[in-house]
Each structure stands twice: as structure tokens, then as C-alpha cells.
């Protein structure tokens, strides 16, 4: 009996080895196939984001035809800017999961286009003065102006021709990067609301292209796992129109979003962490850990006058009382972020003077020190179409006009898409920008 069992065991062992070999071959074949699929690429040239839906349907048919596979999931950037309501409906109907990818570095022409928007559009709305607008345009186009630069190219140095298009980067002996101080002053979470005022876009717009309020969606339902489902149901067009008609918060004390003070953080695999985050406290902690100077020392480093008493910082008596409770009479202990929010604002400015100086320095640096705006600012780097886009895109409204022309036409009354959309457009000024008297 024992001998028979041994023989059976031997036979079983041989059979197992054969099965194992088959499994290994199948596994290797599957892995090779997966590697092949991972390397398969389909490239579609799209001039407008509105073409995405039709191109995806073409792509889906091609995948089925060439690989015999069905698409089960579609990943897109967190802005969901390529997914129209019709597109999302198609995905649901065909049981295709819509996923949002983690933040990553986009292609360089998109980076350039968005940075252009930030410098020439968003900053102008945060710092609403003719002088600031003139300075930002001079940074990009030079004192000779846009028309001259578009016609003759970059002529002269940075003053006449602007920083964009210089022959080589000017990095002041430091490879292109932005500073810890810039990170600190760019913490603008007070701009975020506690809820999104969702608008009804299925009715005709009211006066000033203003859509009626439909409902309020709390911000915690618009982020994380809940947010992916919520925003997919709302759809891109309604999201954009709703946010465009909602004013941002003021950069002041006591205006930090409450939901960011009890934030559910997630691991890289998307699982909720057990400990919630108070982001306001974390930002102060990070500044201290990075050894960013306290408010007064920060101003000294920028050659600005430091404060000697709390009344130099703000006229708000309640704020002064709380500052004394936290810091006593020692103004040198004041944390940078607290000081930036408490500081009196220059007329027309949404940010403090202290933050403005750093904004100004970095606005110049991120043009002059970046090869993609100097030595590599050309068609060879961006492609002909990409280079055209970067050179002709000056505002968020330009982007919307190109990809979603129906949105500005129907829903935007303001000159800039960074203004509240139902605000009146800027009055025309016949005086050339560089010749205007510097008033706010």
C-alpha cells in the first residue's frame, strides 16, 4: 500500500510539474500580452475639447477591433474638463467607469497656457489696478507691446521685448525653482467657499447672464470619493457656470473654510485616514518647520517696514484683541500666514502688500528662469499649433471661447472669467495702457 502511494505521489508530482509549467507559460504569455497592451498607444489630434466624445467612441471601436477587448474604465484629469454631460451619460449607459486621475504634470503647452492665464488674467483680478496690468503685460510682451512682438518677434532685451522669448534662461545662479516663501504666501485657501451654489443651466439666463440658484452642495461632498460621484453627476458645464457665478472668499482673518479644518485625508491608494487634518494649523506648522521667517522678519527681508505694535497691522479691534491673547505684546512672534491675513490691504488689492512683493518677484522668475519660456519657447518644442495657442491665449475666457464657445456667449457678462461672471464688463478706455495715470 505504501509503495502504491509513493508511485501515485510520483505520478502526481510529475503531473503537477507539467501543470505548473503550463501555468507558468500562460502567466508569462499573459504578462507579455499585458506589456504589449501597456505599450499600445492611440494618438488623436483634437483642435477642440468638444471633439473628445466622438474621438473616444472611435477609440472604443478601434480597441474592440484590434484587441478584442472592451473598455471598462476611463481616466481623466481632476478638472473633468473633457467630459460633457452627454459624454458622462454615454459612459454610464455602456457601464464604463469614469475615474479621476491623481494630480500629475500636464504637457508643457498646457502648463504654459495655464501659467499665461495666471500671470495675465488671474493676478490682474486679484490686484486690480492699471499699473499692475501694465507691469504684467510688460513682463510678457515688453514695453514695445504685444502687436509689435507678434509682428517682429522678440526684439531687444527684457525691457523692450519682454521676458518671454529670451535666448537663454536668466536664473541668477539658481536652477529654475520657486521659493519656500512663495509657497507660504500662495496659501490662499480662504478663497474657497463652504459650499458650491449650483445653478440651473436648463433655463434662459437672467439679467447680466445670471442663472437661477438650484441648490447648495457642501464642499465635503465635492472632494474625495464622494466628490468624484457628485461632480460626475453634476457635469462639467454646470460646475463651471456655477463656480463662475459665485464670488470667492476674502483673504482675511476668520474666513478659513470650516471643512478644511476637519479634512479627511486619504492615502495614495484612496483609503481614508483615521485622523482628520486641520489644514489651517498644518500650514502654520509647515512654515515653522521650513524655517520660513515670522511676519516681521519676513517684511525686513523684503525691505518693507516692520510693525512695532498691533495697530500698525490692522484697525480691527477684535483682531487686535485676539492677536494679543495669542502672541501677547511681542509682535516679533506673529506667524507669517496670520499676519498676511490680518494686514491692511492696498486699495484694489485682494492680497496683502507683503504677499504682493513675493508674487511680483516670482511672476518675473517663473518666466525668465524657465527654459520653456526662453530658449525653448518655439514651435519645435510646442508644435506649431501648441505655440499658436500659447501666443494667442491671454485669459481663461480665451480658453472657454476656443473649447466651449457656448459658455461665454450664454453665461459670461464680465470681461474676465476670473471675475464673477454676472459683473459688468470693464468700460473701454481710449488711453493706451502704458500712458495712463497710475490710479487704482
Same domain, 97 and 140: no
- Which sign, positive or negative, has the C-alpha torsion 262, 268, 269, 275? negative
Domain membership of residue 146 (yes or no) is yes
Regarding whether 163 and 90 lie in a shared domain, the answer is no
Domain boundary among 59, 84, 104: 104
What pLDDT does residue 103 have? 36
CB 359 within 8 A of CB 122: no
Count of domains forming the chain: 2
Is 186 a known active-site residue?
A: yes
Residues 358 and 426 placed together within one structural domain of the fold: yes
CA 203/CA 216 separation, integer angstroms: 18
pTM to 2 decimal places = 0.68
Q: Is residue 91 part of a domain?
A: yes
pLDDT of residue 374: 94
Question: Which pLDDT belongs to residue 13?
Answer: 39
pLDDT at 260: 96
State whether 129 and 87 are in the same domain. no
**Is residue 282 in a domain?**
no
Ranges of the chain with pLDDT below 70: 1-50, 75-85, 98-129, 434, 438-440
The pLDDT of residue 38 is: 44
What is the rounded distance in angstroms from the CA atom of residue 86 to the CA atom of residue 263?
32
Is residue 382 domain-shared with residue 425, that is, in the same domain?
A: yes
State which residues form the domain around 73: 42-104
Residue 198 resides in a domain? no
Report the C-alpha gap between 148 and 289 in whole angstroms. Answer: 47
Q: Are residues 174 and 115 in the same domain?
A: yes
Q: What is the predicted pLDDT for the residue at 439?
A: 61
If asked whether residues 56 and 113 sit together in one domain, one would say: no
Q: With respect to residue 142, please indicate whether it lies within any of the assigned structural domains.
A: yes
**pLDDT on residue 368:** 93
Residue 20 vs residues 9, 11, 27: alpha-carbon distances, Å: 16, 14, 10
Of the candidates 89, 104, 119, which is a domain's last residue? Answer: 104
Does residue 309 fall inside a structural domain?
no
Let me know whether 358 and 430 are in one domain.
yes
| Helical pair 85-93 and 52-67, crossing angle rounded to 10 deg | 30
- What DSSP letter does each residue of 273-285 carry, written as one string? PSS-B-HHHHHHH
Which residue of the set 186, 285, 295, 327 is catalytic? 186
- Contact call for residues 235 and 241 (beta carbons, < 8 A): no
Long-range contacts of 194-197 (CB under 8 A, 24+ apart): 194/218, 194/219, 194/257, 194/258, 194/259, 195/219, 196/222, 196/239, 196/242, 196/243, 196/246, 197/242, 197/245, 197/246
Question: Do both 91 and 131 map to the same domain?
Answer: no
In a domain, 71, yes or no: yes
- In a domain, residue 215? The reply is no
Last residue of a domain, one of 56, 85, 104: 104
Q: Which residues of 82-98 are buried (b: 16+ CB within 10 A; e: fewer)?
A: bbbeebbebbeeeebeb
Model pLDDT, residue 195:
94
- pLDDT for 254 equals 94
- Whether residue 92 is found in the same domain as residue 69: yes
Query: Can you tell me the distance from the alpha carbon of 301 to that of 318, in angstroms, rounded to the nearest whole number?
Result: 29
Q: Under a CB-based contact definition with an 8 Å cutoff, are residues 294 and 332 in contact? A: yes
Same-domain status, 69 and 115: no
Pair 123, 153 in one domain: yes
**Helix crossing, 108-117 with 384-392: angle to 10°?**
10
- Please report the pLDDT score of residue 83 as a whole number: 65
Amino acid at each position: 500500500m505504501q509503495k502504491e502511494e509513493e508511485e501515485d505521489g510520483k505520478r502526481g508530482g510529475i503531473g503537477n510539474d507539467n501543470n505548473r509549467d503550463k501555468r507558468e507559460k500562460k502567466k508569462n504569455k499573459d504578462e507579455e500580452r499585458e506589456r504589449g497592451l501597456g505599450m499600445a498607444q492611440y494618438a488623436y489630434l483634437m483642435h477642440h475639447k468638444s471633439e473628445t466624445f466622438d474621438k473616444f467612441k472611435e477609440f472604443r471601436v478601434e480597441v474592440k477591433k484590434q484587441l478584442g477587448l472592451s473598455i471598462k474604465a476611463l481616466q481623466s484629469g481632476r478638472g473633468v474638463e473633457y467630459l460633457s454631460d452627454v459624454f458622462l451619460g454615454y459612459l454610464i449607459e455602456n457601464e464604463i467607469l469614469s475615474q479621476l486621475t491623481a494630480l500629475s504634470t500636464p504637457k508643457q503647452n498646457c502648463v504654459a497656457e495655464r501659467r499665461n492665464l495666471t500671470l495675465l488674467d488671474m493676478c490682474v483680478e486679484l490686484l486690480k489696478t492699471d499699473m499692475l496690468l501694465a507691469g504684467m503685460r510688460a513682463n510678457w510682451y515688453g514695453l514695445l507691446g504685444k502687436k509689435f512682438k507678434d509682428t517682429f518677434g522678440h526684439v531687444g532685451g527684457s525691457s523692450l521685448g519682454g521676458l518671454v522669448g529670451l535666448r537663454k534662461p536668466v536664473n541668477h545662479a539658481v536652477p529654475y525653482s520657486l521659493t519656500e516663501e512663495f509657497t507660504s504666501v500662495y496659501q490662499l485657501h480662504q478663497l474657497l467657499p463652504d459650499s458650491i451654489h449650483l445653478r440651473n443651466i436648463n433655463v434662459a439666463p437672467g439679467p447680466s447672464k445670471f442663472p437661477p440658484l438650484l441648490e447648495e452642495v457642501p464642499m465635503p461632498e465635492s472632494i474625495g470619493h464622494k466628490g468624484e460621484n457628485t461632480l460626475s453627476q453634476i457635469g462639467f458645464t454646470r460646475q463651471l457656470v456655477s463656480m463662475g457665478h459665485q464670488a470667492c472668499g476674502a483673504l482675511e482673518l476668520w474666513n478659513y473654510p470650516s471643512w478644511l479644518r476637519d479634512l479627511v485625508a486619504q492615502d495614495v491608494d484612496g483609503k481614508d485616514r483615521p485622523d482628520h487634518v486641520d489644514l489651517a494649523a498644518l500650514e502654520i506648522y509647515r512654515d515653522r518647520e521650513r524655517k520660513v521667517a515670522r511676519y516681521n522678519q519676513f517684511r525686513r527681508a523684503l525691505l518693507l517696514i516692520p510693525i512695532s505694535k498691533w495697530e500698525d497691522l490692522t484697525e480691527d479691534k477684535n483682531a487686535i484683541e485676539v492677536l494679543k491673547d495669542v502672541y501677547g505684546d511681542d509682535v516679533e512672534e506673529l506667524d507669517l500666514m496670520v499676519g498676511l491675513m490680518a494686514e491692511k490691504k492696498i486699495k484694489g488689492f485682494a492680497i496683502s502688500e507683503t504677499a504682493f512683493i513675493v508674487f511680483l518677484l516670482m511672476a518675473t522668475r517663473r518666466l525668465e528662469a524657465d527654459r520653456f519660456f526662453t530658449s525653448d519657447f518655439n514651435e519645435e518644442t510646442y508644435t506649431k499649433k501648441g505655440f499658436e495657442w500659447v501666443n494667442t491665449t491671454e485669459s481663461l475666457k480665451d480658453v472657454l471661447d476656443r473649447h466651449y464657445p457656448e459658455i461665454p456667449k450664454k453665461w459670461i457678462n464680465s470681461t474676465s472669467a476670473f471675475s464673477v461672471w454676472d459683473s459688468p464688463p470693464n468700460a473701454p478706455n481710449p488711453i493706451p495702457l502704458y500712458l495712463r495715470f497710475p490710479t487704482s
